[in-house]
Amino acid sequence: MEDTATCMLCGSRESERFPPRYLNGRLWRCLDCDLVFVHPQPAVAELTALYGEEYFSNANSNELGYSDYEGDRENIYRTFRRRLKSLQGVHPGKAAVLDVGCAYGMFLEVAAEAAWDVHGIDISEHAVKRAQERLGDRVRAGVFLEEELPSERYDVVTMWDYLEHTLDPKADLAKARRLLVDGGILALATPDVGSMAAKIFGHRWMGYKLDEHLVYFSRATMRRFLEEAGFRIISMKHEGKYVSLRLFLQRLCLYAPFITPFVNLLRKARAVPPISFYASSRDILLVVAQKSNHAAG
Ligand SMILES: [Zn+2]
């Protein structure tokens, strides 16, 4: 087994396994800039295969994908409405938006309700088929870095839970910048490996999904990625999401395994009410940034 891995953010070859005792030695931390990343990386073809239908309805979603992405539709809309609202604070009025990693297109539906001109791309052919049922050919399947897209075309580029899944975030951000008009807005959400939750829960932290989450950002590494790609950060804060009580309990079992038998009893007795609420474990970064006039470095 190799004893070092090159950092994609700063290029340093000084890295160590992170956290040393866990996660099969596939996770590394750069000793120079603190970036946490999976090494070796999967091939693009493996990623394309990963995001099939099973990814969106996976019984073992604590490790991979979603337990019921379609069934969670209303909560996902609510989360996206909240995010759209904060985006409208920095970009009032209509906007042409490209959602990178758009999955079933739910953010785009919400943006279309606000009369935005919506476009989306996703690596998952399954997901794009679903999105096209509602949005038609405004959504396409493909790898963002490989697809030809018009330069300086979009007012807003969004990357919700996208950047941690990609092989080359630096190139993704450079491309996003190229596609944005002058002064255009980039908005993204990603797990925060520097959060309290990640520190407290260690290898149990639900951000650690090594087959799909390949890069783990903190405030500091995110800031560096964005600034080096030519963005000025407008805001960076922790954000939650709307969750069903059922999913909330499932996640809670991950962090507090001793309650699992109790939760299983509730489920069997169908005693978990179908309610949802906004929850935040303060471990998801929501970042809004603006294309600056000149790419740095
Ligand atoms: Zn580094």
Q: For residue range 110-147, what is the model confidence (pLDDT) as tens digits?
A: 999 999 999 999 999 999 999 999 999 999 999 999 99
- Per the structure, the count of domains in the chain is 3
Q: Reply yes or no on whether the pLDDT at 253 is more than 90.
A: no
Q: Which of 38-47, 90-99, 235-244, 259-268 has the lowest mean pLDDT?
A: 259-268
Whether residue 156 sits in one domain with residue 250: no
pLDDT at 174: 98
State in Å: Cα 221 to ligand 1 middle: 9
State in Å: Cα 222 to ligand 1 middle: 12
Q: Which domain holds residue 274?
A: 241-279
pLDDT at 273: 87
Whether residue 69 sits in one domain with residue 49: yes
Q: Reply yes or no on whether the pLDDT at 240 is more than 50.
A: yes
CATH number at residue 50: 3.40.50.150
Residues 160 and 179: their CA atoms lie apart, in Å, by 17
In a domain, 120, yes or no: yes
Residue, of 270 and 43, whose pLDDT is higher: 43
Whether residue 48 sits in one domain with residue 28: no
Task: Give 73's contacts (C-beta < 8 A, 6+ positions apart).
Answer: 104, 106
pLDDT at 270: 84
In a domain, 86, yes or no: yes
State in Å: Cα 9 to ligand 1 middle: 5
Q: Reply yes or no on whether the pLDDT at 33 is more than 90.
A: yes
State in Å: Cα 192 to ligand 1 middle: 17
Verdict on whether the full-model pTM lies above 0.85 = yes
State in Å: Cα 36 to ligand 1 middle: 9
Residue, of 33 and 266, whose pLDDT is higher: 33
Tally the C-alpha atoms within 13 A of residue 252's C-alpha that lie toward its C-beta.
16
**DSSP 3-state assignment of 151?**
coil
Q: How confident is the model at residue 2 (pLDDT cuts 50, 70, 90)?
A: low
Instruction: Kindly report the average pLDDT of the chain as a whole number.
Output: 92
State in Å: Cα 14 to ligand 1 middle: 8
Whether residue 255 sits in one domain with residue 164: no
State in Å: Cα 238 to ligand 1 middle: 23
State in Å: Cα 27 to ligand 1 middle: 14
Q: How confident is the model at residue 7 (pLDDT cuts 50, 70, 90)?
A: very high
In a domain, 297, yes or no: no
State in Å: Cα 10 to ligand 1 middle: 4
**pLDDT over 90, % of the chain:** 72
Whether residue 124 sits in one domain with residue 258: no
State in Å: Cα 35 to ligand 1 middle: 6
pLDDT at 54: 92
State in Å: Cα 243 to ligand 1 middle: 34
Whether residue 226 sits in one domain with residue 127: yes
State in Å: Cα 29 to ligand 1 middle: 8
State in Å: Cα 46 to ligand 1 middle: 25
State in Å: Cα 250 to ligand 1 middle: 35
Tally the C-alpha atoms within 13 A of residue 215's C-alpha that lie toward its C-beta.
23
Task: Give 180's contacts (C-beta < 8 A, 6+ positions apart).
Answer: 152, 154, 155, 156, 157, 186, 291
Most confident of 19-28, 167-176, 196-205, 275-284: 167-176
In a domain, 270, yes or no: yes
pLDDT at 203: 85
Residues 30 and 265: their CA atoms lie apart, in Å, by 44
Q: Reply yes or no on whether the pLDDT at 297 is more than 50.
A: no
Q: How confident is the model at residue 285 (pLDDT cuts 50, 70, 90)?
A: very high
